[in-house]
Structure 1
Amino acid sequence: MDKIAVLIPCYNEEKTVEKVVRDFRQVLPEAVIYVYDNNSSDRTVELAEKAGAVVRHEYLQGKGNVIRRMFREIDAEVYIMTDGDDTYPAEFAREMVDKVLHHQSDMVVGDRLSSTYFTENKRPFHNFGNSLVRGTINKLFHTEIKDIMTGYRAFSYQFVKTFPVLSKGFEIETEMTIHAADKNMQVDNVVIEYRDRPEGSESKLNTYSDGAKVLMSIAKLYRNYKPMHFFGIMALLLTIISAGFFCPVLAEYVATGLVPKFPTLIVCGFTLMAAIQSVFAGLILAAGAQRSRQEFEMHLMQVDIRYKELKKDE
């Protein structure tokens, strides 16, 4: 088992990957640095090997697929995940590692939004999107995580080996954050400086399509992790709609004793039935979610045992 593993997912990052590997080797000389190439068509692999990284490959395209491969293959006491585009300075890695090793952190978030992100980043919709996602998740899941979409994080062995990677693309950071919040894992923030990509280096993130995927991912995860809240909101909306259309019908019946809009009354009845079904769906799924959390705690205990065994074998 490695003491520290630095994980760098890469896709066509020949402009910066060599510098990123060397920077992290300087700050964390005891770490093993892994570059996982995701079908690059440039010199990413060659330059990463030249800089001293262990290069491996993931042939399914997408950042989520790369991280899934990393987490399955590597055992370490602490993991540092960063991007290969040189936007995250390596000098903050030591503080993040120490929080995992000495402060029992399960995930440490490299917080860009509290420092230079809004001035360095030249894409205004990214700024808006990051703020929107942060506010939405912190509100829905009652967390105080400062940067949801950052690619600069540190993880404990327990987090990595119990995190089910389901996302294939850039939604992965959102999935990590919500998983940590739902499973009551310790999350700490470390304020980092952010610098925009150097000239000639292009982002693989599409502002609109990937942003829409992230928002859809939040909705799906909220439904899965907090089903009673999700379906309770649906039931409330359906009840309000039903009541809104039913009130004029009721008022006319009280005044005249007639129901001329009988189809509206039928629709109101079916809408109210859908609201009641939503409540019961939420109750059933909430019981399943509770059982899933109990099973997770048992699995976490098994991972702790394996971690101690690996430590003894060092």
Structure 2
Amino acid sequence: MEDDAVRADSSVLSDGGETVAITDEADEISPDEVCVLIPTLDEAATIGDVIDGFYDEGYTNVVVVDGDSTDDTREIAREHGAEVMVQSGDGKGQAVREVLEYVTVPYVLMLDGDGTYDPADADKMIEPLARGYEHVIGNRFADMDDDAMRALNGFGNRMINRAFGFVHGANYEDILSGYRAFTVDSFERLSLDSDGFTIETELAVECVKHGIETTVVPISYTARPDESETNLHPIRDGGTILLALYSLAKTNNPLFYFGSLGVSGIVSGFLIAVYVLWEWVQYNQSHEIMAVVSAAAILLGVQLLMFGVLSDMLVTLHREQRRRLERIAREARDK
């Protein structure tokens, strides 16, 4: 798992000229310093067992943020000792952003309430934060039950992870994992706009974009109980996630975003030009309008490529400047 953004074995991490200490040994984080955040929507069948599991592990600061469930999710969560909040809007992303405004502890452990994630992995998720990491992703593929994920979902997940690595240049192994641990400070530095289930995708992209020290740990992943129904639609939601990955490249990897548009324009213009030339040579027929369209497409494509190069330079300079300012601010706080 050697990667510029995922370096679990390094003793010191350097990012943009700024050195961040990642130690093999660190003070243990108390469960009282961790908020277990569980976004829910109609999870009455599983939420009670999930909350009890964290209580058994010593994590008693459990917050359930509910998206206006129509079943008994909120009532069951309260009965099992969790603090329950009802989000004002719709979607998992909106719920997470809203509840983080009220969190007073430094660390958050976030997971879905469908019973697929194991509370026994909580310590494993929190431990890297004590060593200096700011964001931890649980890799479901490390220990997944055979029936935990449909073949189509598994294929789609792997394709999305490969697309993420290609577009955004980091290998996080399982960017769609709902089991996350992070510092509240790092979350506040992210620019999150997603309202729905694409929040995990946006979190991964923002970690790369803002240089958040991120690592991946293996977790177990089990199948949903029979009485629990999923809200996921593989084809539609997979397409939405891929579109989000591409759209987010606009500010994180503008060379890819505008470059791909530029190459598409150039190739389209070239193909039209070949057709126009073929018609003229073979049949002595001219297509003036198509020739103009071809020239315009090629010119637009070249301009988009140039814009992508310039945007990439600006983004790089902006990141370096932001990291310098963050380092100066931390040094000022430490004095």
Correspondence 1:153-302 to 2 at 5 A: 153-247=180-274, 260-290=286-316, 292-294=318-320, 296-297=322-323, 300=326
8 Å contact 2:263–2:305 — kept in the other structure?
no
Alignment partners' CA distance in 2, 1:303 and 1:70 = 26
Aligned to 1:144: 171
1:247 CA drift (Å): 4.5
How far does the alpha carbon of each residue in 1:128-170 deviate from its partner, in whole angstroms, 9 at most, with x for none?
2211111110122221211111100111233211122211111
Aligned to 1:109: 137
The DSSP-based 3-state class of the residue aligned with 1:126 is helix
The unaligned stretches of length 5 or more in structure 2 are 1-31
Aligned counterpart in structure 1 of residue 90 of structure 2, from 49, 56, 61: 61
The DSSP-based 3-state class of the residue aligned with 2:177 is coil
8 Å contact 2:167–2:253 — kept in the other structure?
no
1:44 has 2:73 as partner: yes
Aligned counterpart in structure 1 of residue 46 of structure 2, from 13, 16, 34: 16
8 Å contact 2:50–2:113 — kept in the other structure?
yes
Alignment partners' CA distance in 1, 2:243 and 2:86 = 29
How far does the alpha carbon of each residue in 1:25-59 deviate from its partner, in whole angstroms, 9 at most, with x for none?
22134x51111111112221221112111112203
Following TM superposition, the consecutive aligned residue runs of length 4 or more in structure 1 with deviations greater than 6 angstroms are 305-309
Alignment partners' CA distance in 1, 2:236 and 2:271 = 35
Cα distance change of structure 1 residues 106 and 122 upon mapping to structure 2, 3 Å threshold? closer
1:194 CA drift (Å): 0.7
1:134 has 2:164 as partner: no
Alignment partners' CA distance in 1, 2:53 and 2:93 = 24
How far does the alpha carbon of each residue in 1:230-259 deviate from its partner, in whole angstroms, 9 at most, with x for none?
212222232233233334656898x89x88
- Amino acid aligned to 1:9: P
Cα distance change of structure 1 residues 308 and 72 upon mapping to structure 2, 3 Å threshold? farther
The DSSP-based 3-state class of the residue aligned with 1:55 is strand
The DSSP-based 3-state class of the residue aligned with 2:93 is helix
1:93 CA drift (Å): 0.8
The DSSP-based 3-state class of the residue aligned with 2:38 is strand
8 Å contact 1:64–1:172 — kept in the other structure?
yes
The DSSP-based 3-state class of the residue aligned with 1:229 is helix
- Amino acid aligned to 1:5: C
- Amino acid aligned to 2:233: N
1:265 CA drift (Å): 2.5
More helix by share: 1
Aligned to 2:37: 7
1:283 CA drift (Å): 4.0
Cα distance change of structure 1 residues 247 and 45 upon mapping to structure 2, 3 Å threshold? closer
Stretch moving more, 234-243 or 2-11: 234-243
Alignment partners' CA distance in 2, 1:90 and 1:307 = 35
Correspondence 1:83-102 to 2 at 5 A: 83-102=112-131
1:72 has 2:101 as partner: yes
1:179 CA drift (Å): 0.9
8 Å contact 1:96–1:108 — kept in the other structure?
yes
Alignment partners' CA distance in 2, 1:231 and 1:157 = 33
8 Å contact 1:121–1:127 — kept in the other structure?
no
Alignment partners' CA distance in 2, 1:251 and 1:130 = 43
8 Å contact 2:57–2:119 — kept in the other structure?
yes
Q: RMSD of the alignment, in Å?
A: 2.8
1:270 CA drift (Å): 0.8
- Amino acid aligned to 1:59: S
The unaligned stretches of length 5 or more in structure 1 are 310-314
Alignment partners' CA distance in 2, 1:300 and 1:208 = 40
8 Å contact 2:136–2:217 — kept in the other structure?
yes
| TM-score of the pair, normalised by structure 1 | 0.86
